[in-house]
Amino acid sequence: MSNSDAIAALGQAHELANYGEYSGAPTETQTYEYAKTILDLMTRSPTPHPEGKVLIIGGGIANFTNVASTFKGIVRALTEFKQPLIAHKVRIFVRRGGPNYQEGLRSIRQLGESLGVEIQVFGPETHITEIVPLALTGKASDNLAVANGAVNGISSGNLLQDQLLGSTSTVATPAATAPVSRAGTPPQERMTYFTEADTKKTGGHDTNREVPSVAAMIYPFGGAHVQKFYWGTKETLLPVYTTLEEATTKFPEVDTVVNFASCRSVYQSTLDILKHSDQIKTIAIIAEGVPERRARQILWEAKQQNVLVIGPATVGGIKPGCFKIGNTGGMMDNIVSSKLYRSGSIAYVSKSGGMSNELNNIISRTTDGVYEGVAIGGDRYPGSTFIDHLLRYERDPNCKMLVLLGEVGGVEEYKVCEAVKNGTIRKPVIAWCIGTCAKMFATEVQFGHAGALAQSDLETADAKNKALRAAGVVVPETFEKLPLVLSQTFQGLVKKGTIQLKPEPETPKIPIDYSWAQELGLVRKPASFVSTICDDRGQELLYAGMRISDVFKEEIGIGGVLSLLWFKRRLPEYACKFIEMVLMLTADHGPAVSGAHNTIVTARAGKDLVSSLCAGLLTIGD
């Protein structure tokens, strides 16, 4: 949606032929089919456009999507459409970040060398929408240097890599721990080892942790047990309980629960958690697809119990040096490059989880970093709203500047306007609402999130940006200028002495899991099993280099399959028919039954007579 806004800001909304997005870690096959559909629509016209066409593959910094895996599907589709892309003079601009993005971008860059189509590739060091002016005008905007952190000496770092009344508590402190519902999935492990980066006091940033940020797990479908997780280079054991009551009794200091239950069970499990509101003060609900009625019931009950709810449909939130929820912040390389291992001065709240990671990146490049960030979720009835979190930030003396990233749909931003006007919020607020392109369309457009739909003029992004600006909030002219106003406001606070710059600590060295390092190509291991015939390591099974989908598509039959498995190559059609004829003639194997066969094989393997006989006899059934 931010890229569509950028296109509209350049006066090119009438040229926008298609807007689409994918989310939720799709497989290679899913992205292949999706990309193939887009490319087919793009090149279907028999008469190419005289000025050619532009394909923008623009994505934020993913929290958990394997970029390399999804890009494999895009590469397959682009390869299939090589000639149509050339004929229609298509130019392709790519920007992406997230887990394994280096490999994904490398594959796209390599493809550009052989495809015969112009492909320009950029990573998270480039502002998310910067490829739009590059694609449409041929030059970068004036904000590129700012977005990349080259402003006033701020280093860009490693490029690779309805109000809740009466709540005065913070979501997390440097010693925060939490029980997690549902045991043993990757997000919980990432929460546990997040604070590996924070085991020492470095520079002026107090981010000391001596225990993991996850205290225990709750899994009602098995007995109490322990589960292994990494803590630094060693493994630690975390207890798994069947009930929250057990966990809270064992860990009376815990006040936060992260609920990973599915959309079908999250309602009842959240109500069960709210029964412990004397201790549990914050609940994060990750599940998407929660019915709106259930979400509103959870919100009402949480207000009665004075409990802060983040979500549903949220990636979570992060407080550098203290705690992170689920997949927030992405993999460790992104946490390091966005400096999320130590506390900064800027707190933000957004709807989108993906865009929250983009804010981590922008804030780290233009200021001294993130103090806290929360994604409230994109549903129409989130458990907490912008004003809930901004009021928390206002009360926190360590937070010096507030950032709000809203979007089209909903009216929660107007509560922020009132709070700024009446002086409830006094700290500098920078805000922007995405979805300004919606006015360019003749009909209402549903963008990504369930709540990203304007059902009145008040809910449009333009109206909310205008109201925020009138209230005294710093609102940039476009999203592309957000890094600039962030930098200017931050430098102003530094000059006033509101923010005291601290020496940058040494970048921590974070251990990386072997399986992930292997996928990144950083380590290798000798194969313990070698097959020159079949390959099941990728998304699709290969028979002697031939995809199983092509085996069925080309209808090569049993003979063709056996030619691949036995002879490691495609045999001529007559040879395949001969193999099938032999199989039909010998289908009744006569005396060569399995029992006798097992006896023969066992004897040939050097076993004694009794063992060989037992091998045959014991396989005989009725």
Structure tokens at 330: 């992405």
Share of the chain above pLDDT 90, in %: 56
Give the residue numbers marked as catalytic: 449
pLDDT value for 206: 39
Q: Which contiguous run of DSSP H or E holds residue 605?
A: none
DSSP β-ladder status, 346-350 and 370-375: parallel
> Is this structure's pTM higher than 0.85?
no
Is the pLDDT at 540 greater than 90? The verdict is no
Structure tokens at 85: 């892309």
pLDDT value for 84: 96
Of the two residues 199 and 196, the one the predictor is more confident about is 196
Mean pLDDT of the chain: 85
Q: What is the mean pLDDT of residues 276-293?
A: 94
Q: Which contiguous run of DSSP H or E holds residue 520?
A: none
Q: Which residues contact 336 (CB under 8 A, 6 or more apart)?
A: 158, 161, 197, 507, 508, 510
Task: Yes or no: say if 486 and 403 are a contact pair by the CB < 8 Å rule.
Answer: yes
Task: Yes or no: say if 376 and 357 are a contact pair by the CB < 8 Å rule.
Answer: no
Report which of 134, 71, 83, 80 is spatially closest to residue 108, judged by C-alpha positions: 71
What span, in angstroms and rounded, lies between the C-alpha atoms of 323 and 173? Answer: 8
pLDDT value for 470: 97
The single-letter code of the amino acid at 218 is: I
Q: Which residues contact 615 (CB under 8 A, 6 or more apart)?
A: 598, 599, 601, 602, 607
Query: What is the per-residue pLDDT across 214-257, written as a single tens digit (0 to 9) for each?
Result: 889 999 888 899 998 887 778 888 999 999 999 999 999 999 99
Is the pLDDT at 203 greater than 60? The verdict is no
pLDDT value for 153: 35
Q: What are phi and psi of 361, to 5 degrees?
A: -65, -50
Report which of 284, 340, 332, 338 is spatially closest to residue 312, judged by C-alpha positions: 284
Is the pLDDT at 486 greater than 90? The verdict is yes
Task: Yes or no: say if 243 and 267 are a contact pair by the CB < 8 Å rule.
Answer: no
Query: What is the per-residue pLDDT across 554-597, written as a single tens digit (0 to 9) for each?
Result: 999 999 999 999 999 999 999 999 999 998 887 776 666 778 88
Structure tokens at 550: 């092509």
Which domains does the chain carry? 2-141 (3.40.50.261), 178-515 (3.40.50.261), 588-622 (no CATH)
User: Helices in 262-407 by DSSP H: which ranges?
Assistant: 266-274, 292-305, 332-337, 353-366, 386-395
Query: What is the per-residue pLDDT across 2-57, written as a single tens digit (0 to 9) for each?
Result: 888 899 888 888 888 888 888 777 888 999 999 999 999 999 999 999 999 999 99
- Lowest-confidence region among 271-280, 410-419, 430-439, 532-541: 532-541
Of the two residues 331 and 496, the one the predictor is more confident about is 496
What span, in angstroms and rounded, lies between the C-alpha atoms of 405 and 353? Answer: 11
pLDDT value for 76: 95
